[in-house]
Structure 1
Amino acid sequence: MTTRQSDPLLAAAKVLTVLLQFLIIFAMVAIGIGIGVLVSVGKARVFAEMAKAGAPDAAFPLLIVSFVLIMVMLGMANRFFKELTGIVNSVGEGDPFRIDNADRLTRMGWISVGIHGLALLLVGLASWFAVYLEKAGHHADLGFDVEITGVLLTLILFILARVFRRGAEMREELEGTV
């Protein structure tokens, strides 16, 4: 049982997930290069700015940690979209209610939990840095906010994982009785 190959919604989902994965990898590479530049040629300038603002010596390593956290979050987002691609492909094959899709949804839920947890840590670091940015005369509105939609997405993923798992089990039971 397969769906029409010309389904525009599935085609758009496939293109979008691949495009997002490409953009995420591009951003990770750019941030990695930025970290390299910051650690090598930009270190003296950053230390001078931090000293002017009265930041402790631990600020520079924490700045690097912040960028690494962003890279980890992007890597997790990339994995999230790879899992989503697997689900989209199974829908295109006409067989979405499978155990592996339930497992994918569960992994997506845990990835979402991880991203939100790291985001909270990053918000804490950003708030700490904001004090020193203001002292150095830089605008420090970092625009971080925790939204309920992310929490709801996480809950929905875990619930859908259970729905998909039960659907797959029911289909297996039905096939076993026929």
Structure 2
Amino acid sequence: MTEKRTDPLLLAGKAITIFMQGVTGLAAAALLIAMPVLYFWRDDISAELATELGPQAGDFPLGSALAVIALALIAVGIIFVFFGRLRRIIDTVGHGDPFAPENADRLNVMAWLLLAVQLIQVPIMGIGLMVAKWADEVGHDDITIDAGIDLTGILMVIVLFILARVFKLGARMREDLEGTV
């Protein structure tokens, strides 16, 4: 049992999940600060943009920017929860009980969380394209938006749903085995 607790892979996985939760926490704090700053100083921001880019830049799409920040905040919160679930799975592996029924539930929730992040990206891309169009209109055509389907993310969602079923089956098989002994 002590061998599993000092497993470098499990220690690294736990450290990474804690680090990622810290990063997402900082990102959430930054987004929470950015929203009111952008809203309350919108006139100053528009005036500065008009000064730097010309009068046509004064109609900065503030609503779009706030919507992207709000959606990003939701995505960051989802990712924070995702890494919390992953850390709990790593803990059960470290304790020698990976096929706990809770892990199947955690994997299932993690799959839904990643699917939600994938879906949140769709309106963010649409809004980003609107902002890129605005940038084109004000002569800042160097702003580009990469919009597309994230096949890796979709594959990860599918893999997590499959792993959830594998863990559920493993937990059931373990219960059956314990019942026969």
TM-score (norm 2): 0.89
Are the structure 2 counterparts of residues 3 and 97 from structure 1 closer, same or farther at C-alpha, using a change threshold of 3 Å? farther
Q: Deviations over 1:74-118 (max 9, x none)?
A: 000001000100100000000000110000000000001100000
Amino acid at match of 1:52: Q
- Displacement of 1:34 after TM fit? 1.4
**How is 1:60-71 mapped onto 2 (pairs within 5 angstroms)?**
60-71=62-73
| CA distance in structure 1 between the partners assigned to 2:159 and 2:107 by the alignment | 9
Work out which structure has the larger RCO, using CA pairs closer than 8 Å and 6 or more positions apart in sequence.
1
State how far apart, in whole Å, the 2-side matches of 1:64 and 1:110 are.
25
Shift of 1:143: 3.3
Amino acid in the other structure paired with 2:160: L
Please give the secondary structure, in 2, of the residue aligned with 1:146. coil
Q: Report what 1:18 is aligned to.
A: 18
Q: 1:157 pairs with 135, 155, 160, which one? A: 160
Match of 1:52 among 27, 31, 56: 56
1:23 positional shift: 0.6
Report which stretch shifted further, 32-41 or 14-23. 32-41
Distance apart, 1:45 and its partner CA: 3.7
Give CA deviations for 1:141-176 in whole Å, capped at 9, x if unaligned: 133443211111000000000000000001111111
* Amino acid paired to 1:23: V
1:78 to 74, 77, 80: 80
Equivalences for residues 22-37 of structure 1 within 5 A:
22-37=22-37
Helix, strand or coil at the partner of 2:5 = coil
Give me the whole-angstrom Cα distance separating, in 2, the residues matched to 1:121 and 1:89. 35
The 5-angstrom pairing of residues 60-139 of structure 1 reads: 60-138=62-140, 139=142
Alpha-carbon distance in structure 2 between the residues aligned to 1:171 and 1:164:
10
Please state whether the residue corresponding to 1:141 is helix, strand or coil: coil
Q: What is the root-mean-square deviation in Å for CA atoms of aligned residues? A: 1.9
8 Å CA contact retained: 1:101, 1:161? yes
Q: Report deviation, 1:25.
A: 0.5
Unaligned runs of 5+ in 2: none
What is the CA-CA distance between 1:55 and the residue it aligns to?
5.2
The answer on whether the counterparts of 1:54 and 1:132 sit within 8 Å (CA) in structure 2 is no
* Count of matched residue positions in the alignment of Structure 1 and Structure 2: 175
d(CA) in 1 for partners of 2:67, 2:27: 16
Name the CA distance, whole Å, in 2 between partners of 1:102 and 1:109: 11
